[in-house]
Every structure is written in C-alpha cells, then in structure tokens.
Amino acid sequence: MRLAWARERFWLIPLACTVVAIGLGLSFIALDQLIRGSIQLPFLISSGVDGARAMLSAIAGSMITFTGLVFSITIVTLQLASGQFSPRVLRTFLQDRFNQLTLGIFVAPDLTPSDVGLRPSPAWDPGGRSPRPD
C-alpha cells in the first residue's frame, strides 16, 4: 500500500535528490571552511568569489532552462501520443522511476547553487554592508 503511494508521486524522487544535493552542498561548505588556506588551486578559477558566483549562476540558469525545455517538449509529445493511443502513456511516463531520477539529477543541482553555493562569502560582514579586509 505504501509503495503504491510512493510510486504514484512524481516529485518524490526529485525531492529526495534535492535534499541530498543540499546536504552535500552544506557539507562541502563545511569542508571548505575546515581546509581553508591549506590547499590552493589557482589554475581552476582565478577570478575570486564574484567570478565563481557568476559562473555558478550562469551554469544554474542554463541547466534549469535546458531541463525545463526538455521536459516540456517531452510532456507535449506524450500528451499527443496519449490522444492517439491511450491515456496511460502519460501516467506510465510519470510513474517511471528512471524518469523521476533523471529529473531529480537535473533539478537538484539547479536548486542548490541558489540556496547553498551563492551565500555571502566570509569576507563580508554579517550585515552584508561592506567588505572586511583580509
């Protein structure tokens, strides 16, 4: 009975992926604060905090646009197919765990940079008014 309820919920697996991604994001922030200054990788990104924030914003924006476009086209195609064949086509697509996992993998990273990765950097004071000297 409970398994059937979970199978019918389309957003259950993407929600779980999002929670895991937010947990990983918070743990990576804690790890970064733990090893701050001991590992320097200037060849990865040399533009600083603002450059990294801009790059994360661009990646998140393009990925959510791509995901929305792909799933919108897929749903329209499935609606047309369900009109031709059977209404169960759309229900079968929405209940497929692979499709739910795919949506979760694409949506979870898009939500976490705006929630976790784009927090103010430690170089800014708690009020966010002016930068502190390093």
| Residue predicted with more confidence, 5 or 132 | 5
pLDDT, residue 132, reads: 44
Does residue 100 fall inside a structural domain?
yes
- Both structure tokens of 5: 């309820």
- Both structure tokens of 15: 């929600």
Does residue 25 fall inside a structural domain?
no
Distance CA 24, CA 129 (A): 29
pLDDT band at residue 103, thresholds of 50, 70 and 90? Answer: confident
107-134 pLDDT, tens digit per residue, is: 887 766 555 555 555 554 445 444 444 4
Length of the chain: 134
Does residue 66 fall inside a structural domain?
no
Name the maximum alpha-carbon separation found in the chain. 66
**Domain membership of residue 103 as a residue range:** 72-118
Does residue 102 fall inside a structural domain?
yes
86-100 pLDDT, tens digit per residue, is: 888 888 888 888 988
- Residue 43 burial (CB count, 10 A): 6
Domains in the chain, number: 1
Does residue 36 fall inside a structural domain?
no
Q: How far separated are the first and last CA of the chain, in Å rounded? A: 58
Distance CA 108, CA 58 (A): 16
45-82 pLDDT, tens digit per residue, is: 667 777 777 887 788 788 889 888 998 998 899 888 88
